[in-house]
Amino acid sequence: MVGEFSDAGDRRSLLWRDRDFRLFWTGETINRFGTAISGVAIPLIAISELDASTFEVGVLTAAAWAPWLLIGLPVGAWIDRRHRRPLMIGTSVISLLLLAAVPVAASAGLLSVQLLLAVALLTGASSVVFQTAYGAYLPTLLDPADHAEGNAKLQGSASGAQIVGLGCGGLIVQFAGATNALYVDAATFALAALCLTAIRFRERHPTTARQPGAIREGIRLVAHDVWLRTLTLFGAISNLALMGYQAIVVVFLVRTVGLTPGTVGVLVAAAASGGVVGAFVGRRLAARFGNARALLLCELGLPTLALLIPLAQLSPALYVIGGFGVGAGVVGGNVVKSTFLQSYCPPDLRGRLSATASFVNYGTIPLGALLGGSLASWLGIEAALWITTAGVPLAASVLYFSPIRRRRDLPTDQMSRNVSICAPKELSRVASSS
């Protein structure tokens, strides 16, 4: 036992001394901070400056995620044939320019819901490329033994940045205006691009040749593997419910509960602090109880607190408690899942796996945003919140009724029992690289 703790401490120490990882970590944390500011600012721009309806706010949220449905699959196959870091730098610069265009348009009197929709769609498309490249790049930057610690650090700092960003976002909107808050997000993309540019690590030249059936192969990769299939299906249903309530909760807090933008930012930040706890405990729960059991604890147990969110009219503290539980469970589960997937999938297939899983997982996010907005328009915002928040813990039934429930740990070998689903040429590359 002493040796295990000592080894864990050594790995943490090595990551702190790893210059390239520190740069990557810093850039991603800054990026998440800015994204959190926009997450508060853009709905408030629509509500306060454009008098958008609840449904229009839902459509605006959906637009940011719709590119996963439109380009998610081909991007994965394309990224497997490209160096990932230049793509991440390029898309950061594109997002910078798009976000800075919003306050410029506002000052010129050209701001509209249609313009916000266009910016959301284009920044969403940049995010598809960035996130897919990110998922394939991180495992190459770290040794396999460092994956768990690296994921925990990235998830924890991302949650912390989100907390600070949400709180700052509300205050910036209140004192400087909603559109001006997007200048801050644009600046964070510039800093993130600089951090990525400063990384010295050079990726090996991609060995994956262009294959006409690469997209189908990625789909088969997920569909024919029980572990990948279960996690992907769960993620899709979970994101449908999560985005269903997140798309309308700011409208609920402002128009129904009657809170100011600054107060909304503080409350959303407090609720998001659960993510920091989840990042801290996810890896430790996996080490103590096994990663399969930890996944059930995080995704099935804690998110039941989501049912407190619609009761925020009684006390805003109930929203904080509910959001805290959701954040802790989701981020803790993400740490466990990310570590498993990085060790389970062969390197040359990670882009396709990331894109296929993200296509399904993130593809339900715009549908969830539209669902939340539509339910709020048809049934009222409170009824819509009850329906969507109830779906958060119910989504975990996919995990409970799967083989995961009967295991202590998920498999550790690299898909050795499922290699028949890969193309023959890909198999030879996987074998030679292992």
DSSP 393: H
User: Which two structure tokens, joined as six digits, stand for 105?
Assistant: 């348009």
Q: Please report, rounded to a whole number, the percentage of residues in the chain having pLDDT higher than 70.
A: 83
Q: Can you give the pLDDT at residue 358? A: 74
Please write the tens of the pLDDT for every residue from 115-159: 999 998 999 899 888 888 887 787 778 777 777 777 777 776 776
Amino acid at 174: Q
Q: Can you give the pLDDT at residue 29? A: 87
Based on its alpha-carbon atoms, the radius of gyration of the chain, rounded to whole angstroms, reads 21
Residues 6+ apart with CB under 8 A from 340: 227, 291, 410
Residues 6+ apart with CB under 8 A from 108: none
- Among 241, 276, 273, 275, residue whose Cα is nearest residue 371: 241
Q: Can you give the pLDDT at residue 214? A: 60
Q: Can you give the pLDDT at residue 423? A: 35
434 residues of the chain, pLDDT tens digit each: 334 434 444 445 556 677 888 888 888 888 888 888 887 788 888 887 888 887 887 788 788 888 887 887 787 767 777 788 899 899 999 999 999 999 999 888 888 889 999 998 999 899 888 888 887 787 778 777 777 777 777 776 776 776 777 667 777 877 777 788 889 889 999 999 999 999 887 777 655 555 555 667 777 778 888 888 898 889 889 989 998 888 888 889 988 898 887 788 788 878 877 877 887 788 788 888 888 889 988 888 888 899 999 999 899 999 999 999 998 898 888 888 888 877 787 766 766 676 677 778 777 888 888 888 889 989 999 999 999 999 998 998 899 899 998 888 888 765 544 433 333 333 222 223 22
Which CATH architecture is the domain 17-433 placed in?
Up-down Bundle (1.20)
Q: How far apart are CA 148 and CA 138, in angstroms?
A: 12
DSSP labels for 321-368? HHHHHHHHHHHHHHHHHHHHHHHHS-GGGHHHHHHHHHHHHHHHHHHH
Task: Write b or e for each residue in 221-256: b if 16 or more Cβ atoms lie within 10 A of its Cβ, otherwise e.
Answer: bbeebebbbbbbbbbbbbbbbbbbbbbbbbbbbbeb
For residue 130, the SS3 value is helix
CB-CB neighbours of 7 under 10 Å: 11
